[in-house]
Amino acid sequence: MSDTAGWWEKHRQTMSDTAGWWEKHAFPSAVDLVLSDRLVGEWRRGLTAGAHGIVLDLGFGSGPNLPHYPMAVEQVYAVDPSDEGWQRAGAAIADFGRPVTRIGTDAAAISLPDNSVDVVVAAWSLCSIPDVEAALTHARRVLRPGGTLRLVEHGLSPRPWLAAAQRAMQPAWGRLASGCHVDRDIERLVAAAGFDTSGLTAQTAFGVPTPWTWFVAGSATTSP
């Protein structure tokens, strides 16, 4: 019995170490590859084109939005849970040449004052924030009157058969992909947080309907 317990403890630790390595190192690298400019640069350029003033970047990662921000952006506040991503962002931050400050790891606990930023940017991050409702509530709170939430995200398809597949695969996918959700209704979530979503559009990206290619993109404004 003791030998069995020792075997289990040894292999449990091995599995835990493997999961930690995947979460900390391998998955962030995979995300950078999948969301590289070669594949989604057009979407990222559209996302950042209208940014200006003080920007709050949710899901900052390794800083892939930075090269696309126009000179009208004066400062970026970064929120991201990955220390690895922040370390890898060093070169992009240096090239950006304007202040970039990491203000936290949890988008659902943003410490900025009310009405303190001009634009909130979320690029393929609303899918993986654990408490996305709270994050969107904070985004609306910190935006100045007339401010915008600029986003591009994959979400729940309007095709019933594909939506059913997304919901069925979510438990396994979420564990594999560090909490990413393929079954979130992004437009509904943004609207529920008090945003006007008339500036958002949705379409099948790359012309291929898959669980990851129903994209919602554009600007949501703060409602009066």
Q: Are 63 and 125 in contact (CB under 8 A)?
A: no
Domain 44-222 has CATH 1.10.1660.10: no
Q: Are 171 and 148 in contact (CB under 8 A)?
A: no
Q: Which residue has the tokens 């594949």?
A: 39
Distance CA 40, CA 150 (A): 16
- pLDDT (tens digit, 9 = 90+) per residue, 97-145? 999 999 999 999 999 999 999 999 999 999 999 999 999 999 999 999 9
120 pairs with which residues across the strands?
56, 149
- pLDDT (tens digit, 9 = 90+) per residue, 145-180? 999 999 999 999 999 999 999 999 999 999 999 899
Q: Which pLDDT belongs to residue 19?
A: 44
Domain regions of the chain by residue span: 1-34, 44-222
- pLDDT (tens digit, 9 = 90+) per residue, 2-46? 566 555 555 555 444 444 444 555 556 656 666 677 788 899 999
Q: Evaluate if residue 199 carries a pLDDT over 70.
A: yes
Give the mean model confidence (pLDDT) for residues 57-79: 96
